Structure 1
Amino acid sequence: MTLEKFAMTTDEPTWFTQKRQASFELIDKLPLPKMQRFNFSNWQLMPSTKTIIKTDVPTTYDDYVLMDIFDAMTAYPEMIQKYFMNKVIKSDENKMTAYHTAFLNQGIFLYVPENTVVQKPIEIELKQDSQQPFISHILIVAGENSKFSFIQRTRTEGDAKSVANCVVEVMAMPNSEVRYAAVDEMGENVTSYLSRRAYVDQNAYVDWSIGLMNSGNTVADFDTDLFGEGAHSEIKVVDITSGQQQEGVNTRVTNYGKHSIGNINQRGVIMDRSRLIFNGIGHIIKGASGANAEQQNRVMMMSNEAHGDANPILLIDENDVLAGHAASVGQVDQRQLYYLMSRGIDRKTAQRMVIRGFLGDVLVSIPSKPIREELVQTIERKLADGQTVATNS
């Protein structure tokens, strides 16, 4: 199937078909995304796809618009053309963004108009059919002075070998407040590329709470660009790896605006023979006086055969700023284990209690109660499965 025939199945506008074609021609010319200390160049991340999946969501609510991305191209053409892979993330940034644009097969558009406060969280659940590549896009536009929470759950159905290429773009207009929470649970046979990024305008606030609970190999790129004066972002990432899984996570905040604030807090637990790399990147651009960039990257190893790395990076091009970082990689505190076991608690339960305490600092800071509770349940399940694998091996 040619790209033109593929695009016809969406009944999409000409400009988007042309954008697909232009991106397709760039794929072989662009490099892969850069990720320090993590090489994924030999991963199979870009098979062709022939299926378009319409996302089954209502088109409008009283206060906001939530609809299929392809329907939105007709209903909101100017807004989609202005923001889709054009301002927050660009199609020609790297090989993966070009592939994403060329072969996009499903997505969601959320628009919350200016001066709108949505009281209840906006929730979606995306299910990947492992028989098809999952090329998914979420575009969120937060109007000036708007305020809302968005919860995303993503899961794989089936156990076929597949790929996922998922992009989230958040455009936060001045004085808006966006609280984004996600739990990713891609299957063991799914190789994933995940990109989430926000453009944060003057005095706007974006809070990211991300639970990376995938079972397959994953490369994740989480970026926030603080363009406006007084822009603020908090990024919290919880990650657990097991088996022979490999995950590389780039979490970056770039301070462009004066008095902007960007904080990163990442916690990971690695089991069995898995590998997890946390790169925390804080970049303060020249002219961003009064900016603040703080980060924590901590990894706990549950196995002598696991490999973890917490790599903090600060790039400071301005003098009048605050910046700092903390990083650690280590095994379970044996003194804590001994204390718990001396109180009659078995070793497996004691280990899980120590891990919950280790992750607790991030979990309690997640503003979404449903996501906190779901993450705790998912963490318990992954830890129990990991301990079972370790015992059997």
Structure 2
Amino acid sequence: MTTQTILPVDAKALSELSQSNGEPNWLQASRLSALELAAELGLPKLEKTKIDPWNVDNYGTYKSSQVLTDLSAVPASIAELVKDQEQGNLIIQRNSGAVYTHLSPELAAQGVIFTDLQTAAREHGELVQRYLHQAVKPEEHSIAALHAALWNGGVFLYVPKNVVIETPLQAVLLTDDAEAAFVPHILIVADTNSSVTYVDNYVSDKAEAGLHNGAVEVFVGAGAHVRYATVHQLGADTADITYRRAIVDNDGTIEWIVGEMNYGHTASDTKSILKGNGSSSDAKVIAVGSGSQKLNYTTQAQHFGKNTPSDMITRAVMREEANSIINGITKIEKGATRADGQQTEKVLMLSPKARGDANPILLIDEDDVTAGHAASVGQVNPEQVYYLMSRGISRRDAEALIIYGFLAPVVSQIPLEGLRTQLQSLVERKLGQ
């Protein structure tokens, strides 16, 4: 590749930072190797979206934040998200590092690990090293390589064999300092026959340009079940580029619930790799675009194992001059007999200047499979609006009802009541209700 990436830090400074944070030698070597690789790689190639004009070089510098001893001192911008969580299982990252972590003694006694990733690398190095950067690989492109070199804070969740966690574990990741690097990495490992629900929120509270370069890696053991729910509500000043990957073993299940509620430019790629026989994936994505946002959302399922079902549903609403590319990719590899890949992408445009492209893609290298897709792009039906108005409902309320009805098939399937309520509130806010 002839493209040359401008590095936001040199090797000497990165090495010194790693040493000052007490990181093990293997992690320091991993960072330096990724930084070297980043200089050779170009930006990711996204369908009909150029991210070159975005704030892709605006990483800032590593700045530690003051640790919180209790939740009464959290910033106002995230207070609502963490209320009544004093006894809950919670991690808060503020800018470049974790400021609050809590895991119940009951879960700790069962061998559950739930802490920030930087701490986990020091205290559980062998376990972290086994999985880190194995799903989102640094060699994919410069964004992935720079993430591997610069990640900070983050979350590490390990659920031992046969441990079933009934209560969701939560993380809140806040960026509110324009000069601070915000590059969290989420690493989840669910061992054989375990079960866990993890929920996180990404929030920005600043008015200066910035970048979130994020990565999520989920490893689902045989017979394990991981439900991963995430809501991104970063401000117009913050470009958000996030890669999510899950590798699923025999009879394991990954559920993705993604709420894309940012106000700035966004590119996300959520992929399930169904490695084992009987493994399955269910992905639900809802998105609302506004202003002059440029949005690119990709959901993928790659089938290697036999008898592997996957389902992907994306529903997006575009208003004002928002422009979105919605990609669904189902890849069934040779040998993945009796795989079943289904996907649906639907975009509703609320303005003549809004644009949405839905691109369903099926790539099938095996005969004994089932696969299907549905895609639609359209505007609010004026006849529906007229009908509701004829019943005494204002145009504004009529359009809102139609929009909520459009999103309802996805939102109603979300099994977490608190997350459903939060997404409803964020949709109302983005639609100006």
Compute the TM-score of the two structures, normalised by the length of structure 1.
Answer: 0.95
Mapped partners of 1:199, 1:121: distance in 2: 21
CA offsets 1:213-265 (integer angstroms, 9 cap, x no match): 00000111111100000000100000000000111011111011001111110
Given that residues 348 and 377 in structure 2 are in contact (C-alpha distance below 8 angstroms), is that contact kept between their aligned partners in structure 1? yes
In the other structure, the counterpart of 1:389 is none
In the other structure, the counterpart of 2:418 is 370
In the other structure, the counterpart of 2:14 is 3
Mapped partners of 2:254, 2:427: distance in 1: 25
Mapped partners of 2:183, 2:105: distance in 1: 26
Given that residues 185 and 212 in structure 1 are in contact (C-alpha distance below 8 angstroms), is that contact kept between their aligned partners in structure 2? yes
In the other structure, the counterpart of 1:12 is 23
The structural deviation recorded for 1:60 is 6.6
Identity %: 36
Q: 2:267 aligns with which of 184, 207, 219?
A: 219
Bigger Cα displacement from structure 2, 305-314 vs 89-98: 89-98
In the other structure, the counterpart of 1:340 is 388
Q: 1:182 aligns with which of 194, 214, 230?
A: 230
Does the alignment pair 1:57 with 2:68? no
Bigger Cα displacement from structure 2, 144-153 vs 129-138: 129-138
How do residues 1-393 of structure 1 correspond to structure 2 at under 5 angstroms? Answer: 2-51=13-62, 52=64, 53-55=96-98, 56-58=100-102, 61-63=105-107, 64-85=112-133, 87-131=134-178, 132-384=180-432
CA offsets 1:168-223 (integer angstroms, 9 cap, x no match): 11000000001111111011100110111100110000100110000000111111
CA offsets 1:337-393 (integer angstroms, 9 cap, x no match): 1111111111111111100000001111112211111101110111116xxxxxxxx
Q: Counterpart of 1:106 in 2: which secondary structure?
A: coil
The structural deviation recorded for 1:58 is 2.7
Q: Counterpart of 2:239 in 1: which secondary structure?
A: strand
The structural deviation recorded for 1:61 is 4.2
- Where do 4+ consecutive residues of structure 1 move more than 6 Å? none
The structural deviation recorded for 1:67 is 0.5
Mapped partners of 1:139, 1:60: distance in 2: 19
Please tell me the residue identity of whatever aligns with 2:155.
Answer: I
Given that residues 59 and 210 in structure 2 are in contact (C-alpha distance below 8 angstroms), is that contact kept between their aligned partners in structure 1? no
User: Alignment length, in residue pairs?
Assistant: 384
The structural deviation recorded for 1:167 is 1.0
Given that residues 130 and 162 in structure 1 are in contact (C-alpha distance below 8 angstroms), is that contact kept between their aligned partners in structure 2? no
Given that residues 334 and 365 in structure 2 are in contact (C-alpha distance below 8 angstroms), is that contact kept between their aligned partners in structure 1? yes
Given that residues 181 and 368 in structure 1 are in contact (C-alpha distance below 8 angstroms), is that contact kept between their aligned partners in structure 2? no
Given that residues 6 and 50 in structure 1 are in contact (C-alpha distance below 8 angstroms), is that contact kept between their aligned partners in structure 2? no
Q: Counterpart of 2:257 in 1: which secondary structure?
A: strand
Compute the TM-score of the two structures, normalised by the length of structure 2.
Answer: 0.86
Q: Counterpart of 2:58 in 1: which secondary structure?
A: coil
The structural deviation recorded for 1:48 is 4.4
Mapped partners of 1:263, 1:146: distance in 2: 22
Cα distance change of structure 1 residues 48 and 184 upon mapping to structure 2, 3 Å threshold = closer
Cα distance change of structure 1 residues 318 and 61 upon mapping to structure 2, 3 Å threshold = farther
Given that residues 326 and 357 in structure 2 are in contact (C-alpha distance below 8 angstroms), is that contact kept between their aligned partners in structure 1? yes
